[in-house]
Chain A
Amino acid sequence: MDKPGPAHPGRRFPVRLTGLLVSVILLAVVLVLSIGFGARFLSIGEVWAGLTDPASPYYRIVHEMRLPRTLLGLMVGMALGLAGAIMQALTRNPLADPGLLGINAGASAGVASAAVFLGIGSFYGYIWFALLGAAVVTALVYTVGGGRSATPARLALAGAALNATLYSYVSATLLSDSQAIEKVKFWTAGSLASADFATVTRLLPFFAAGLLVALAAARPLNALSLGDDAARALGARPAVIRTAVIVAVTLLCGGATAACGPIVFVGLLVPHMVRPFTGPDLRWLLPYTAVLAPVLLLGSDVLGRILGSPGELQVGTVTAVLGGPLFLYLVRAAR
């Protein structure tokens, strides 16, 4: 085993591959747990029967409630984790997170406007407004934060400013309409509870597009981390890469937020936890993040269902309470 040097070169190839396999197994376990936990606990055998056998008494529970929820958590977790990872690479900022940077709040503002002014109450209507809000805020936070010369503190502050402004806008619009408050209150806390197959299938194209762009950006982003000039010398086009990353972040965060509300810290935490293992190479970092981010999100969701029973704690609350202290630790450790 080689020792990680100062720049986190990561582990050797076989170790990384084994780690990825272990992560995939972990993800499989969490997926089964997420289907199994609920008002009625299902054992592994019952989960399997519920998935495959239409005659099983659990077929409907699994297919109509828990499977869509689990699939949604899988997609949203991947989306937030990848968005966080490529944002961190693009801004060279270890504290970048779609929640902290206000991108999720931008999507929320879009959704709140849609719910109040246009009376839209379904995911299919939300998503365009969420994407629009996310796109505007991504561009804004990047510009206000200083673009290419952005520092972590500047970006975080620009994000905090936009967050505060957007949340006061969201509550102002919601206040005028108490029915809208009811419609979106679970949504504003960040929850997977309202998942159904329609949501999953409608999120899928946005998610898939964002995923492909993000994964395709891994190599060029690696080049960009050497600086613009070096990247150009290696044949990369910095402007194109930046645009592609912003498009991917918008698709991933806008879609995830439209589907289940603003969720913080997933995009921050997971890339951070895997970086010591993979090193800064995005070709490893992104797959690891894509596998482990849903583990965190679904794990938080299952935890919320256990802790909050007979009701449930919203997954956004669980990730905030779990991820917050880690963020504080990272801030303290950074020097």
Chain B
Amino acid sequence: MTTLTLEKTVGSRVGVRPRAVVVGVVAALLAAAIAVLTLGTGEFPIPPADVVKTLFGQGTAAQDFIVNELRLPRVITAILVGMALAAGGAVFQSLVRNPLGSPDVLGITNGASTAALTVVILGGSSTQLSLAAVAGGLGAAVLIQLVGGKHGLHGYRFILVGIGMSAIFTGISGYLLTRGVQMENARALLWLTGSLDGRDWQQAGPLLGVLVLTLPILLLACGPGLRILEMGDDSAAALGVPVKALRTTALFTATLLVACAAAAAGPVAFVALIAPHLAKKITRAPGPNLVPALAMGALLLVGADWIAQHTPRVLPVGVVTGAIGGAYLVWLLTMERRAGRI
């Protein structure tokens, strides 16, 4: 019986779920379509057909400059940030076995932003800011595991520890903001909200590198194990999953992704919570659902950026995701309550 189940589980990792594929492809296509629209948006509107032509090198010199030089880096950054946040969020939700266990709620994002804020206030360069964000995120992950990980990473205890950590980091951030002068504060606050303004290859490049390095680890080494781990530590251990090693690898890889995304665009709120959860709801598949989540993350961030650029006063993208995410979180809480899970 056990062997049968195991074979089935392991078999389905290679086997492709048609529903998941459809969801992933549709989300990716939608993301691409919105990306083309965004590339045409700005002070010089360009029709979508011309945008596509320009992307393939068939546009005029002016179009080529506007689309490929000015606007493309920002859109690529948006896609990569969305993917990184979604992948990180998917792993966290799977580890904590709860859709609310996202890096936003757990305080990882707050750790990254507090560290980055320190650099902004001290007047550091953008490279230092990125490094600080990554270090802060990883530091927060270590702290949260030290404090809350005694009985495993799951359950509300872990989430409550995260909430407490977030409150501490918020307090420190508040102090840091009072130390800055006016210009730095505006820069710091913009960064804290999460924005894609002025992002170029300097941000997109490193993030792409991190994604290329970590996604194979998550997809191939962690994904199948995480799916089994959702059945419980004991069952997973009985089925031959190296629980501790898997959990540590997954936690730190996911944290790295989230922190790098924060380094590139600031702590864009709630994408890491919504994207994987939506993907899971729609695909109805067990496990972290990494591939559909990646597509969903890209779609969400590109979509939020498009909305942000079309508001009367152009808003940073983090405001849009914050508004969408807060509503989603409240809805999620209500649903969880009805289902009797909390």
- Determine if A222 is an interface residue (Cβ-Cβ < 8 Å): no
Complex CA gap A186/B327 in Å reads 29
Once the chains are docked, how many angstroms separate the CA of A95 from the CA of B329?
20
Contact B160 A153 (CB under 8 A): yes
Give B311 Cβ to nearest chain A Cβ, in Å.
10
Q: Is B322 an interface residue (CB 8 A)?
A: yes
Interface contact A153-B178, CB-CB below 8 Å: no
- The reply on B281 being an interface residue by CB < 8 A is no
CA–CA, A144 to B330, complex, Å?
7
Which residue of the partner chain, among A99, A158, A164, A182, contacts B182 with CB atoms under 8 Å? A182
**CB-based contact B193/A317 at 8 Å:** no
Also in contact, A185 and B178, with CB within 8 A (given A100-B167, A144-B333, A264-B171): yes
* Distance A144 CA – B329 CA, assembled complex (angstroms): 10
- Interface code A174-218, partner B: CB below 8 Å = 1, 0 otherwise? 111010011001101111000000000000000000000000000
Instruction: List chain A residues, Cβ under 8 A from B185.
Output: 178, 181-182, 185
> A178-B182, A317-B172 are contacts. A153–B147 as well, Cβ < 8 Å?
no
- Could you tell me if B147 and A328 are in contact, using CB atoms closer than 8 angstroms? yes
Query: A-side binding surface: helix, strand, loop or mixed?
Result: helix
Residues B171 and A317 in contact, CB atoms below 8 Å apart = yes
Q: Is the CB of A328 within 8 A of B156?
A: no
Query: For residue A332, which residues in chain B have a CB less than 8 angstroms away from its CB?
Result: 147-148, 150, 157, 161
Is A23 engaged at the interface, CB distance under 8 Å to the other chain? no
Check if A244 is an interface residue, CB within 8 A of chain B. no
A172 touches B165 (CB 8 A): no
Q: Mark A292-329, 1 if CB is under 8 A from B, else 0.
A: 00000000000000000000011011011101110110
B149 to chain A, nearest CB (A): 11
- A236 in the interface (beta carbon within 8 A): no
- Are the CB atoms of B189 and A186 closer together than 8 Å? no
Instruction: From the candidates B147, B171, B322, name the one contacting A165 in the complex (CB within 8 A).
Output: B322
Q: Interface size for chain A: under 10, 10 to 19, 20 to 34, or 35 or more residues?
A: 35 or more
- Interface residues on chain B, number (Cβ under 8 Å): 50
B150 and A324 within 8 A (CB): no
Q: Is B270 an interface residue (CB 8 A)?
A: yes
Please choose the segment from B82-90, B128-136, B242-250, B313-321 that sits at the chain A interface, where 4 or more of its residues have CB less than 8 A away.
B313-321
In the complex, what's the smallest C-beta–C-beta distance from B140 to chain A, in angstroms? 13
Residues of A within 8 A of B45 (CB): none
Among residues of A, the one whose C-beta sits closest to the C-beta of B163 is A160
CB closest residue in chain A, given B150: A332
Which chain B residues lie closer than 8 Å to A319 at the CB level?
Answer: 171
Residue A132, interface by CB 8 Å: no
Answer whether residue B105 sits at the interface, using C-beta atoms and an 8 A cutoff: yes
Q: Does B81 contact A (CB under 8 A)?
A: no
CB distance from A94 to the nearest CB of B (A): 11
Interface residues of B in 151-183 (CB under 8 A from A): 156-157, 159-161, 163-168, 170-172, 174-175, 177-178, 182-183
Complex contact A175–B186 (CB within 8 A): yes
Chain B residues near A225: list those with CB within 8 A.
none
Contact of A189 among B160, B174, B193 (CB under 8 A): B174
Let me know if A82 is at the binding interface, CB within 8 A. Answer: no
CA gap between A152 and B160 in the complex, in Å: 10
Flag if B170 contacts A320 (CB, 8 Å). Answer: yes
When distances are taken between beta carbons in the complex, the residues of chain B under 8 Å from A314 are: 174-175, 178
Nearest chain-A residue to B326 (Cβ)? A165
**A273 near B: Cβ within 8 Å?**
no
**A265 interface residue per 8 A CB criterion:** yes
Q: Are B171 and A324 in contact (CB under 8 A)?
A: yes
Would you list 29 pairs from A and B whose C-beta atoms are within 8 A, ordered by A residue? A100-B167, A153-B156, A153-B160, A154-B333, A154-B337, A157-B159, A157-B163, A158-B330, A160-B105, A162-B326, A164-B105, A164-B325, A165-B327, A167-B322, A169-B322, A174-B189, A181-B189, A182-B185, A264-B167, A264-B171, A314-B174, A314-B178, A321-B171, A325-B168, A327-B167, A328-B147, A328-B148, A328-B164, A331-B148
Apart from the given pairs A167-B322, A327-B164, A331-B160, 19 other A-B contacts in the complex at a CB distance below 8 Å: A144-B334, A145-B333, A153-B159, A157-B105, A162-B330, A164-B105, A168-B319, A169-B319, A175-B193, A175-B316, A178-B186, A188-B174, A320-B170, A320-B171, A321-B172, A324-B168, A327-B167, A328-B161, A332-B150
Nearest 6 interchain pairs by C-beta? A320-B171, A165-B326, A168-B322, A189-B174, A324-B168, A317-B175
